[in-house]
Structure 1
């Protein structure tokens, strides 16, 4: 998509603090972090939300989750615990309509979130 912010970041047309890159995913630091570790993991291929990613059914969702875990390991939060969040749709707080997983860690994660 030509107007998609995350497509532009994945294409390296817009700079981001890249944490990890694979053939199919890109992980970069959130510009408004909500925890000491707050990294977004996006597929390089555009899918609007988690439902669209699941419908793609080509292993890409697995790749996103594997990248999220690798980010948690790299940031040293995998042992203590971390959260992976997909916001799907405006009512859930999704503001960029390119599926992305938030990897959050480095502080106590309570439920409900906040």
Structure 2
């Protein structure tokens, strides 16, 4: 099975809360423009664990696909004088990305969180 198929099955069967507990993850650690909330009805709504797992799974799949197809993951996108990472995902009209310098931190944080959960 491919990573994409596994992620699809996780989301389709709503297993996000069963496989990861990411309530304490702070996406601002990986990019200064990231938010830990989305806007709904004019109010800030914090991401629930299910949203955070969806974001992480999407970022992992994006990272895997770009590496597998030999794409340059170090590229950034410039808009209005600001540099945004190409490794991004969108959920609830909020964009979450990983700076190229923070990819190692992102992956090690995920491994630490999952290892601590099961120990």
Smaller-chain TM-score bracket: 0.3 to 0.5
Could you say which structure has the larger radius of gyration?
A: 2
TM-score by structure 2 length? 0.31
Asked which structure has the greater RCO (Cα within 8 Å, sep 6+), the reply is: 1
Which structure shows the higher helix fraction? 2
